[in-house]
Amino acid sequence: MYDADIADGWDIAGNANGGYLLALAARAMSDSVGRPPMSVTGHYLTPGLPGPCEIDTDVHRAGKRMATVAGQLVRSGENVLSALGLFADQVPGGPVVQRAAPPELPPIEQCVRRPPPAQPSGFGDRVEVSVRPADAGFYDGQPSGEAEVCGWFSFADGAPIDVIGLLLIADAFAPVIFNQPEFAPSWAPTLELTVQIRGVPAPGPIRCRFVGRYMQNGLFEEDGELWDSDDQLVALSRQLALSPRG
């Protein structure tokens, strides 16, 4: 069991960002087996308000190279996040095949940095999320018509981005559904988020592409690709979220 803290200032309208919570849990799970995350799934049970919490970890298997660990982030006796993950180092080598490319982004200073639409939110001060102008219309009530959001990510204080940081980035941008005019740009809570770590990021900002393809039955998925400054894919993410009810 790990004592932890849902720190102030990582919230969107009072509730801690989902990627922040996943990173918090994964850090404890990683520590319990001494290996970095390779694939982590989190299920969101109740909103995470700031304050002390505990993270219960349970090692399901620890092999020579890989370990499987369950984690629960509990605050005031309430289970906020249930997680399950595989922890192992990346092992470079072997053939490399990439059948897709990083998103084409203008320089950071030509992208759009705005606070999260829901206010007050501390999260927007902690992270530097700069959205490609073509995808940023939703901030002004002009959704692009395509459920896609691409942009740059850095921490506002310039902190380096490690593999745990990638878990946070996977949920740092506004929901892609905000660019579909069929839906109101309101709360789109994440139910489940899975992040595959696919490389150790080189220093510098991360380029991100988030895309949704299927919005039906009140649900949508959001697929993320995270790229480092060496054009290396460093993470793939997918979440299932509730569509805004308008």
Which residues of this chain interact with a second copy, rule CB under 8 A? 38-39, 41, 43, 45-46, 60-61, 66, 68, 70, 72, 79, 82-86, 90-100, 146-147, 180, 182-183, 191-192, 194, 196, 198-199, 212-219, 221, 232-233, 236, 238, 240, 243, 245
Let me know: does 163 contact 201? Beta carbons within 8 Å: yes
Report CA Rg, the chain. Answer: 17
Could you tell me the two tokens for 204? Answer: 């510098």
Nearer to a second copy among residue 113 and residue 198 (C-beta): 198
Q: Closest distance between a second copy and the C-beta of residue 124, in Å? A: 27
Diameter of the chain by CA atoms? 52
Nearer to a second copy, 124 or 185 (CB): 185
Work out how close the CB of 111 gets to a second copy at its nearest, in angstroms, rounded to a whole number. Answer: 23
Residue 165 or 224: which CB sits closer to a second copy?
224
* 70 contacts 84 by C-beta, under 8 angstroms: yes
- In degrees to the nearest 10, what's the CA dihedral of 234, 147, 9, 198? -10
Residue 70 vs 118, nearer CB to a second copy: 70
Of the two residues 43 and 113, which places its CB atom closer to a second copy in the complex?
A: 43
CB of 59 to a second copy, least distance (A): 10
Residue holding tokens 């939703």?
138
CB atoms inside a 10 Å sphere around CB 196: 18
Query: Which residue's CB is nearer to a second copy, number 37 or number 122?
Result: 37
Find the shortest distance in angstroms from Cβ 83 to a second copy. 8
162 C-beta neighbours (distance < 10 Å), count: 13
Rounded to a whole number of angstroms, the minimum distance from the CB of residue 119 to a second copy is 26
Q: Report whether 157 contacts 89 (CB < 8 A).
A: no
Which CA distances in Å does 62 have to 66, 85, 150? 6, 12, 37
CB of 55 to a second copy, least distance (A): 14
Closest CB to a second copy among residues 164, 191: 191
Smallest distance, a second copy to C-beta of residue 178, A:
13
Instruction: Please state, in angstroms and as integers, the Cα–Cα distance from residue 44 to each residue in 90, 94, 99, 161, following that order.
Output: 27, 36, 32, 24
